[in-house]
Amino acid sequence: MVHNVASQDGLSGKRVVVTGGTKGIGAGIAARLAGAGASVLVAARSAPERELPANVRFVKADLSTESGVAGLAAEALEILGGVDVIVDNAGGAVPATSGIADLTEEHWHDAYQLNVMAAVRLDRALLPGMLERGSGVIIHISSIAALRAESSLVHYGAAKAALNAYSKSLATEVAPRGVRVNRIAPGLIKTEAVDSFVQHIQDTQGLDQEAALGTLHELVGGIPAGREGKPADIANVVAFLASDQAEWIVGAEFRIDGGSVRQVS
């Protein structure tokens, strides 16, 4: 259930674009912001399978392509009349069958196009309006995979590490002109994509579902909090970062992982 918390969030009337916003984390973010009174436009390759919440509209776009992102940016400006908040959430990668040697040129290319260039292109298209107004928020959804040496998803982790570097540099450049850029690094969040990866582990390692899920917990370093995350765990942090309550937070990374990442950095 999404509660209307517009008065405490200060998000009422904000114009928001959420990429990859029809499933998983993206859908949770869209519902949370719309419930706070924002007008939200979500984009994905395919139409949503479930009815969208009130205040949420959908644009079909392949965000791994330059033309797809350009089309989304044009539609966002036409439909919303401007964009106050960008949530660059689209991401993912096809895991290697058995190791790094199995990753093809296409694996690497696709991972970078979706996890890095989709954000770079959309930000580049919509940032001028924010800079002209002297206000705006960009939130990049990264991953703790950027910190973990996991061979079957090394291309995904490398792409998210590149996204982190880009995000930090952009934050430093545009903060003096009123635009805040931050990023979130989710841990293991219970989504359709995670369910697919569990199935991949079952198929490639001959494990049952429980054992495959246990293997996935080990891959993220364990979860001291005792459970996988929920999309709402990420969406609540996005709502905070998009609000004026976070007006002095710039270039920061928020790890939302139940304690999986143990090192101090």
Quote the CA–CA distance of 69 and 122 in Å, as a whole number. 6
**Is residue 166 annotated as a catalytic residue, yes or no?**
no
Whole-angstrom CA distances from 42 to 23, 71, 205 are 10, 13, 36
Q: What amino acid is encoded at 51 in this protein?
A: E
Q: What tokens were used for 160?
A: 């998210």
Query: What residues does 44 pair with on adjacent strands?
Result: 60
Three-class DSSP category at 228: coil
Catalytic residue (choose from 126, 127, 156, 185)? 156
Determine the Cα–Cα distance for residues 164 and 131; give it in Å rounded to an integer. Answer: 21
| DSSP calls for 174-227 | HGGGTEEEEEEEE-SB-SHHHHHHHHHHHHHHT--HHHHHHHHHHHTT--TTSS
Q: In this structure, which long-range contacts are made by residues 133-136, counting pairs with CB atoms below 8 Å and at least 24 apart in sequence?
A: 133/82, 133/178, 134/177, 134/178, 135/84, 135/178, 135/179, 136/83, 136/84, 136/85, 136/86, 136/178, 136/179, 136/180
Torsion of CA 15, 63, 89, 222, to 10 degrees: 170
Do 155 and 111 touch, CB atoms closer than 8 A? yes
Name the residues annotated as catalytic.
156
